[in-house]
Structure formats: structure tokens, C-alpha cells
Structure 1
Amino acid sequence: MSLIKSISGIRGTIGGKVNDNLTPLDVVKFASAFGTWLQNNKNKKDLTLIIGRDARISGQMVSSLVTATLQGLGINVVDLGLSTTPTVEIMVPELNADGGIILTASHNPKQWNALKLLNEKGEFITGENGAEVLALAESEDFNYAEVDDLGKYETRDDAFDIHIQQILDLPMVDVEAIKAKNFKVALDAVNSTGGIAIPMLLDKLGCETIKLYCEPTGHFPHNPEPLKEHLGDICELMKKEKADVGVVVDPDVDRLALIDEKGEMFGEEYTLVAVADYLLKHKKGAAISNLSSSRALRDVARSHDSEYFASAVGEVNVVTLMKEKNAVIGGEGNGGIIYPDLHYGRDSLVGVALFLTHLAKENKTVSELRAGYPSYFMGKKKIELTPEIDVDAILSKMEQEYQNEDVSTVDGVKIDFENNWVHLRKSNTEPIIRIYTEAHSQEEADQLGDDIIAKIKSLI
């Protein structure tokens, strides 16, 4: 089964059987559920939704299905066409719309697509709202519009311009400082919409862009998740072209990975760390990431006399805590920058602008900048259990076992030791405990994971 229904949307592989994969009927049903939920919760007659898609091959088909379904409900549609997740998020409040749908499976391979659901603020709907949409989808309690009440359809081709201008207008983005450096930037956009949007931004910032995989064909030339093992081509290009910095984005452009001038990864976790370092230097306040993100963000926040807080995993949870703490900066360790002065969503474009400002003002190379941050290494393991084992009971035993340490149960069990940490999370679909660790060396991180697995086995 390759259809995943969650509180944040519906995701699946194209083709196959209804309810097993993301088929046209599944797309129509879920778009109907979201549109109906909005109609049930809005005290107005004419509703407008913004839609936009990444460049994956199925995008046009899925977009057509979603558009027609919403119009069939009597909802107006503004179609941004090829877009990015943060651009759609920006345009929902910009156009005073009632919500949005982003058609993207983010970093998943090309056979996947998804519908991600936004509220009127251009933010992902809450877990409670998502559960209501799922219930509507199951009930199929839809009431479509009669012919005179069908929704209107229009397109917009200025969304990238609006998004980029809002970034350039931010006080913490120093356009002139960046222009003065004449940065040479290599870009891998995995043949999706980052290949359109990022060069437009870099041009406005006075940078020279060396493009790699920037044609928005949807034929991803490598695994689209921006991890080291997938990025050999741009690392080689960096050295060949003697570029100052490498920028890598995923298909929907909400995750940002960086590469230094030597063709070495800056570190996925350190995109947020570097941007936070710059911002907290100028404004004291809270920094937020999730429990599975690097301790380096905490260290940098404390170095600027600022607070650090960790949320449960998931962008909605990070945003909720950011609002509660009135955070200056937040995000996830996978390269997701959330800058609330722009909007509450992961945004690679604002991440690029803030990082280049930081780089320009520090007057350092990317590798020199990276060397100034605490060095941590992460490990990821899992332990597969038999179905009859009570995973929650195991996690509770682990909490008790380490009660004298700094333990959080906000999301699974996280144990903060003095020099490292481990985070245990159960799978929602399988009898598996995922084990995330971080330490000052890869060997130590991996050993900690093995030790925790041994401890769990001893408690079964």
C-alpha cells in the first residue's frame, strides 16, 4: 500500500488501485473533503483557494483534478501553476484567500505526489482540522454545486516576483552587502521549480548562478532528498567552477542544503544553525527546532544569550511552539528555515537570502563559517519488534530507566546526556522504534544507538 493519509494531507504513488495508491478517484475524494470542510467552517458564500505544484510528472494531471473538483464544489481557484511550497504559503494571505493546496510530494521520488493543505494564513492546517478532513473523506458526505454556482478559475504568473520582493524588503536581508561580494553560486534544483525561483532570487542579489538540473521537467536526475550521498555532481561542480557556495533544494523548495567552496557538505543540520547565528546576533529571542534536530542550535542560541526550545517532530508542532515563544527563528534540522518576519513556513528562498547576508557580513568562506560552529554527528537506527510487544510500555520503561537524566516525553522519549542525546520515537504504522542519536563523533553516535538498542532488548 502506497497511500498515506495523515493530518497534514494525503500522499501516495501515482496509478494502481483506488485506496491503495494516489489514483484520480483518491485525489477527487480528498480535494472534495478539504473543500467541503472549508465550506462547513467558513461563514461566507464565495470561497477562494490558491493552488500550486512542483514540477513532478504527475503534477499537471493532479492539478487538473483538484481544480475541477474545487470548482465543482463552487469554490474559486487561483492557480499559480509551477510554484514552490513557500510561494503558495505566501500567496494565500497575499490574495486574501481562504486556504490553499500545494501539490507536491516534497523529497519523495518522482512516482509520488501529494496534496498538502493550508489554512487562510497560508500555514498547514492543525492536527485537529486534519482529522476532520480525513473523517469527511471517509464519509464522502459531499454536496456539489449546481451549474450556475460553479467556482471560477484564474491563473497568476507573478507569485515568484511577489515572494522574492517580500524577501528583498526584509530588514535582515542586506542586498547591497551581498551584491558587493559578487558571489558565484552553484545550484542543484533537481529539475523542479527551484530551478525557476532560486535563479530569480540570486539575480536580484547580484550573484552569478551556475545551474545544474534546473530544467523543471520533473525527471529527477538523482534521489531528490538533499542528502550527501545524492549530491556528488554538485560537489564536483563546486570544485570545477570554483564557486563560493553551493545551494541544493528539494522539489518543492522548502528544504535547503549548502555546500562549501571545497565541494564539502555544510551539513544539513547547520543551515538553520548558521541563519540563527546571524539573526540572534542582532536580536535576542528564542530559537526553536524539533527534538530530533542538532544540539548545535541550542549552543548557538546560548552563545547569544538567547533561549532554545524543542518541539515535537513536524512543522506544525515547530510553528505552534514558535508562536508560543514568539521565536526569532525556527525550523527543522533537515534544512528547513522558518523565519516568522516573512511567514510561518519552511522557506529555502529566505534561507538563501539570510545565509548569503551572513556570509557577506562575516567576510569568511563557507568552510570558515562552518568551522566556527560546534561539531556534532548524528546517527539513525531502528529496532523492529514483534506485533505483540507493547511499544508504549517499552518507551515508558526507558523513561524510568533514565529518570535521573534530562528526559523529555513531548514526542516519544528523548534523553539528554551531558555530551550526547538519544531520541526514541515509535512508528505509527509498524512495531518499530526509531532511534536518533547525536554526539561529538560519528562513532560515538553510532555506539550510543547500539547501546540503547541493547538496553531496549534487555527490557523486553
Structure 2
Amino acid sequence: MFGTSGIRGPVGEEVTAALALSVGRAVASDGYDRVVVGRDVRESGAVLIDALTAGLRECGADVLEAGVAATPTIARTVSRTNADAGIVVTASHNPAPDNGIKLWDASGKAFDPEQLEAIAMRIDGDEYDPQAWDGQGSSESLADATDRHAAALRESVSLQESPSVVVDIGNGTGGITARVLSELGCDVTTLNGQQDGSFPGRPSEPTRETLAELSALVAATDADLGVAHDGDADRMQAVDETGTFVPKDVLLALFAREAASDGDAVAAPVGTSMAVDDALAAVGASVTRTRVGDGFVADRTTRPDVVFGGEPSGAWIWPTETPCPDGPLAACKLVELVADRGPLSALVERVETYPIRRTSLEVADKTAVMDRVDDRVRKRYDDVDALDGVYVDLDDGWFLVRASGTEPLVRVTAEARDESRAERLEAAAVDVLEQAIEAASDAGRQSDHDGGREADTITPDRP
């Protein structure tokens, strides 16, 4: 039910008012007595919030309604109001037909897998605790949630100069970024600033491809940089003063190096570029790798030596500020960095990058294939990590074979310090994957025929 980022799917099919009602009932029945709720700009969110709130109150929880607001605004509000949990109705960067539900604990961090499992079990078992007429929860409006978030953002940065910034709000809830940067003295131009859950300006997810208009506008003006958010503003990506998209791993390296010092660690998922390791090594810090998903990165930032967490998708976490990915905070931090050290293009050039290659193959049974990938890789290589997929660390590069969480695909990523080595590592990983796919297919056919056992062979290593 809950993926790495909560519940998401098409409205009316996977995501319904009945599901939202069940989530509300389950959260309240599991002992969360005071719950902050809010939503992004999708029109379907109004119905889902009504159902969610009804479920919470029916089972005795008091509800604090933050209204339409950025996800990090709502997550911050949980701890500020001493609530037990927070729930955001959002599909984040997914397209307009989708919606979803994401849960936050009392600290403002995403629910961990155990907490999510407890909620899912209640829903599966229809195990709720509805209250009598005099035991149902109350409802209270929180009119100041965004104002309080904005105040915290203003306090988090100090600008000696006031750069010119283009903010691509993406028709979502990220208008707080433009507001705060203006209040800090920046010359701010907004793009796609009207809230509209159909996302008419561009697709909700900010990528190199979807930010073409932002890139063109920055390049055609005297702006010092451009920043962009997804629909619920938990993500942030950027373009430099020439309109060039800042590579995602490079942006992670810039944030990480600025946050860390000698002996510190930065949390980042498997598959993160060696550019981040090298940037941190220069200041005596290191990377601690996690499973893919901002919730896993957030969990790692609770360790005392971890000063920053980032996922190249655009989720950036400063744990002393908030355990939630905060796109507006990231935008303010980047503007501060440019004001102090800019221009952004020069900062990007100082981060050494390496050839990285990606491909994917369609598979029928991801679990069976990945089991065979793990077995083959361990027979070939010494330094293997199965934290999330199968990750092989070599002296001059690495590769990762990982099943998609949403599609019938297994993805291969390989990086090395020169192009030819990256190609060879990719070829070696694809070779392992193709053998695993064939073996899984043969085993399935053999099992269908007579229950026999596959013959498993290993071809020579070709990295």
C-alpha cells in the first residue's frame, strides 16, 4: 500500500475517498490523537481531505487543518504544534490525474516502514476504533502555517548581496519561495505562479527537460540563477545564470560540501555519483549511503555525525532545520551560496564529474531476477552491497542493478572515472542481468513443465 513516498496513484482507481477515510481511521485508531492535515493544489485533494478528516475525527483524533500548503510547511507544523502526526494529501511530482497520501511523525519526519506497516495492517484488517458521539475529535484551522514557515526560512539564511532570481513555482505550492526571497531583498521573477492542479505550465516534476522555459528566461535576462519546485514544493532543482541546468549530483555535491566539515557524514542513496564522495573528501567528510527514497535519507540524518541528506531527485534535508525535504529552504540556501560564492556556473565547474551510464531491461518477475543477479554478482566481485538492489564498488568505478519500484523494469547504472571504463562496467552489469533474466525464465518454464530445477552457469567476467 505504502511505497517509498507514501500512497500514490490515479484518483478514482487506486486513490479514492474510501481509501482516505480508511487512512484517517487507521491513524487515529493507532494512537495518534492530534494530527495536522493539509494538501497540495490538486482539486481532487479537497474531497480526499474531507474523507481523511472524517476518518480521523470519527476515531477520536483532533485535527489541525493547514489547508493548501507546501508539504514542508505542513511537516514543520507537526512539531511546532506538538501534534502526534501529520498527513499531506499530495502526489508530489506525479502528473495531474494522480493524488496520494503521505504521513509524518511527531518530529516532522516521514513515517518509517514499521509505522507504515502498522497503519496498513489496520486498513487490511478493518481494525478501527470509532468513538461515540461525545468522543469524536475536534477540528481547528491553522491560518499561520505558511507564515511560520516563511519566518523560519528568513532566519535560516543571511544575504550580504541580493541576487536576481527566477522562481518557477510549477503551478504548485512553492510560492513561499518567491515570497521569502523578495522579503530578503532579492529581485524575484516568478514563472508558472498561478496555483493550478492540472499543471498547465509544465509537468510537475522539475527536470532538465521540463525546465526549458525557466532556462530560456534566465538566459535571456540578467538573473543570477533560476530555481524550480514540484507540485508540493518538497523538491528543488536549479539552473545557473547562463540558463544551464545544474546536474542533480552536482547540486547534491554543492550542498553537501557547504554543510559538512572534517569528520562529518552526508546521507545519500545508493547510485549517487562519485562526484559527491570526492567533493566531501576534499573537506574531510564522507558519504553514508541509504536505500533510495527521501524517507530513508531522512532516517539516516538522525545520526549525530550526519549533517545533511540529499537525493539527486531534488530532495534536500538539513536535519538541524527540519527532517522533511524542504524545497523552499533549499532554494534559499542556494541563493545564499551564490550571493557568497557565485556565480553558480563557476561553482558547478569546480565539481569534478565522471561518465555515468544508465539503461534498463523489462522483466516479468523482478524478485526472481534480482535474486539471481545477487547470486551471480557475489560470485564475481568482493565488494557487494545489497542494501537496495545490488551495488558493486570497484576502485575506479561502480555499478548498481536495481528493480524499479513502480514499473516492470530492472535498471542498471554504472559510473567510472573515464568513459571506456564506464562502458565496460555497464556491459558487465547488463551481462549479469541478461543471464539472470534468462535463468529466471528457464526456471519458470521448467517449473511449469515438470517442477525441475534450472541449470545455472556463470560466464567469464568482462568488466
Q: Same fold (TM over 0.5)?
A: yes
Residues 376 and 189 of structure 1, relative CA distance in 2, 3 Å threshold:
farther
1:318-333 equivalence runs, <5 A? 318-333=297-312
For residues 452 and 392 of structure 1, do their structure 2 counterparts lie closer, same or farther at Cα, with a shift above 3 Å needed?
Answer: closer
Is the Cα contact below 8 Å between 1:8 and 1:127 reproduced in 2?
Answer: no
Question: Is 1:10 aligned to 2:15, yes or no?
Answer: no
Query: What corresponds to 1:381 in structure 2?
Result: 359
Question: What pairs up with 1:93-104 in 2 under 5 angstroms?
Answer: 93-104=79-90
CA deviation after TM superposition for structure 1 residue 389, in Å: 8.0
Aligned length: 436
CA offsets per residue over residues 280-313 of structure 1, 9 Å max, x none? Answer: 25x7511111112222221111100112211121
Taking the aligned partners of 2:215 and 2:417, their CA distance within structure 1 comes to 25
Amino acid at match of 1:107: H
Structure 2 residue runs without a partner (length 5+): 440-463
Aligned residues of 2:20 and 2:52 also touching (Cα < 8 A): yes
CA contact (8 A) 1:118 1:124 kept: yes
Paired amino acid for 1:36: S
CA 1:97–1:61 in structure 2 vs 1: closer, same or farther (change >3 Å)? same
Is the alpha carbon distance of 1:101 and 1:449 closer, same or farther for their aligned partners in structure 2, counting shifts above 3 Å?
same
Matching of residue 395 in structure 1 with residue 368 in structure 2: no
Deviates more, 1:138-147 or 1:395-404: 395-404
Find 2:414's aligned residue among 437, 440, 447. 437
Does 2:139 align with 1:153? yes
> Which residue is 1:240 aligned to?
220
User: What residue ranges of structure 1 are gaps of 5+ in the alignment?
Assistant: 40-46
Asked if structure 2 preserves the Cα contact closer than 8 Å seen for 1:256 and 1:336, the reply is yes
Aligned to 1:457: 434
Which of 375, 380, 384 is the equivalent residue of 1:407?
384
C-alpha distance in structure 1 between counterparts of 2:305 and 2:346, whole Å: 31
RMSD: 2.2
Q: Does structure 1 conserve the Cα–Cα contact (< 8 Å) formed by 2:218 and 2:226?
A: yes
Distance 1:329 1:452 in 2: 31
Q: Map 1:9-408 to 2 at 5 A.
A: 9-16=6-13, 21-39=14-32, 47-170=33-156, 173-175=157-159, 177=160, 180=161, 182-194=162-174, 196-220=175-199, 221-280=201-260, 284-362=263-341, 364-387=342-365, 390-404=368-382, 406-408=383-385
Say which one has the larger Rg. Answer: 2
Q: Secondary structure at the match of 1:230?
A: coil
In 1, distance between residues paired with 2:121 and 2:16?
Answer: 19
The alpha carbon displacement at 1:239 in A equals: 1.6
SS at match of 1:132: helix
Quote the Cα distance in structure 2 between the aligned partners of 1:213 and 1:389: 41
Contact in 2 for aligned 1:7/1:134 (Cα 8 Å) = no
Partner of 2:143, secondary structure, is: coil
Deviation at 1:50, TM superposition (A): 0.5
SS at match of 2:306: coil
CA distance in structure 2 between the aligned counterparts of 1:443 and 1:65, rounded to whole angstroms: 55
Q: 1:104 to 1:445 in 2, by over 3 A?
A: farther
Instruction: Provide the rounded CA distance (Å) in 2 between the counterparts of 1:152 and 1:70.
Output: 9
| Paired AA for residue 124 in structure 1 | A
Show CA shifts across 1:96-135 (max 9, x none).
Answer: 0010001111110011111101111111111111111111
More deviation, 111-120/153-162: 153-162
Q: Is the 8 A contact 1:191 1:213 kept in 2?
A: yes
- The CA deviation at 1:208 is 1.3
Contact 1:7 1:129 in 2 (8 A): no
User: Which segment drifts farther, 383-392 or 82-91?
Assistant: 383-392
Q: Which amino acid aligns with 1:271?
A: L
Q: CA deviation at 1:351?
A: 1.0
2:347 counterpart letter in structure 1:
L
Per-residue deviation, 1:367: 0.7
Which is worse superposed, 315-324 or 135-144? 315-324
Aligned partners of 2:163 and 2:208: how far apart in 1?
A: 23
Provide the secondary structure at the position in 2 that maps to 1:287. strand
Question: TM (normalized to structure 1)?
Answer: 0.89
What letter corresponds to residue 366 of structure 1 in structure 2?
L
Aligned to 2:396: 419
| Distance of 1:328 and 1:7 partners within structure 2 | 22
| Paired-residue identity, % | 27
Letter in structure 2 aligned against 1:434: R
Q: Is the 8 A contact 1:57 1:110 kept in 2?
A: no
Q: In the aligned structure 1, how far is the partner of 2:191 from the partner of 2:62?
A: 37
Contact 2:21–2:53 at 8 Å: present in 1 too? Answer: no
Indicate conservation of the 8 Å contact 1:328/1:340, yes or no: yes
String of CA shifts for 1:312-345, please: whole Å, max 9, x gaps: 2122322222223531111211121110110112
SS at match of 2:64: strand
